[in-house]
Homo-oligomer: A and B are copies of this chain.
Amino acid sequence: MSDKILIFGHRNPDTDTICSAIVKQILNEKSGNNDVKAVRLGNVNKETEYVLNYIGIEAPELIEEVSEGQEVIMVDHNEFDQSVGGIDNAKIIEVIDHHRISNFETAEPLYYTARPYGCTSTILYGEFKEKNINIDKKEATLMASAIISDTLLLKSPTTTEYDRKALTELADIAGININEYGLDMLKAGTDLDDFTEEELVNLDSKKFEKDGVKCVIAQVNTVSIDDVLKREKKLKEAMQNEINKNDLDVCILAITDILNSNSELIVLGERSDVIEKSHHLENDRVFLEGVVSRKKQLLPLVESNI
């Protein structure tokens, strides 16, 4: 068991989870509570790596589980099934989060600060202000990066006035140009160069069947659809392999521009009419303005055309 209070965000950590854990450690230390240590529950993604490299700090230590009675602070999550192994027997002394509350309970009273903001770091920013604690360049950059990431440069519908206000002041302290730095950071996170076409088609792929029609909708996020389309020929080969291997009726790859909130679809297979019935395909592709969500936008469209 660590004799320090461990601070961590959710599994499959994103930039808010990693940055908020590090910032919470700094906030507690500046408040005179030094017995805290930020850790992480999974690999750092490329976007977060960009942030840590920019500042010049190491990623927090990786842990898999905690001992019974371990004191912990949870940031950016509360649901036990998104948390560290052993969380149900840990002593949760504080939670800072911006998600709904579910699958969470404690035996004792605790500190719990939830706000319906776009980002956990926006809540932490508020705590620095309330406690009148100075925000230095390092934590300003971490919090600004988290806000840019969670709100997609303030463009996500989850963005609140609190996120806007926090980001403006934090970027000032950090000395960053929000759009320049933000674009570079988000681009780093959508760097697909290291992945083969087959990996791209399987990175985030959802299979489902309706009325005997076997479908796959895969999705990759990018800041430049054109960049991804440079690999169109090989992507189509990889998609065709998936169709042959899994006996699919249709395979859809959504290349989603996370900055402009649009998607370009590549649609292959005998039942490509599940898209064609609504949107004319040209060269197996179509550009769908305003479409970013597989669950809320693409899936209902495909299902209505089966």
Contacts and interface: CB of A to CB of B under 8 A. Distances in A.
A40 to B, nearest CB: 23
Contact of A113 (B98, B103, B109, B113): B113
A102 to B, nearest CB: 4
A107 B112 contact: no
A101 interface: yes
A108 B102 contact: no
A277 interface: no
A101 B110 CA distance: 8
Contact of A101 (B98, B104, B113): B104
A99 B103 contact: no
A103 B106 CA distance: 10
Contacts of A103: 105
Nearest to A117: B109
Interface residues of A, number: 20
Interface in A228-254: none
A113 B112 CA distance: 6
Interface in A67-117: 98-116
Task: Count identical subunits in the complex.
Answer: 2
B106 A111 contact: no
Interface in A157-183: none
A130 interface: yes
A112 B105 contact: no
B101 A105 contact: yes
Nearest to A130: B130
Contacts of A100: 105-110
A109 B114 contact: yes
B105 A99 contact: no
B106 A116 contact: no
Nearest to A116: B109
A127 B106 CA distance: 24
A108 B113 contact: no
A112 to B, nearest CB: 4
B105 A98 contact: no
Contacts of A98: 109
7 contacts: A100-B105, A100-B107, A100-B109, A101-B105, A109-B114, A113-B113, A130-B130
Q: Which 3 pairs, one residue from A and one from B, show the smallest C-beta to C-beta distance?
A: A112-B114, A109-B116, A102-B105
Given A110-B116, A130-B130, 11 more contacts: A100-B109, A100-B110, A101-B104, A102-B105, A103-B105, A104-B104, A109-B116, A110-B114, A111-B114, A112-B112, A113-B113
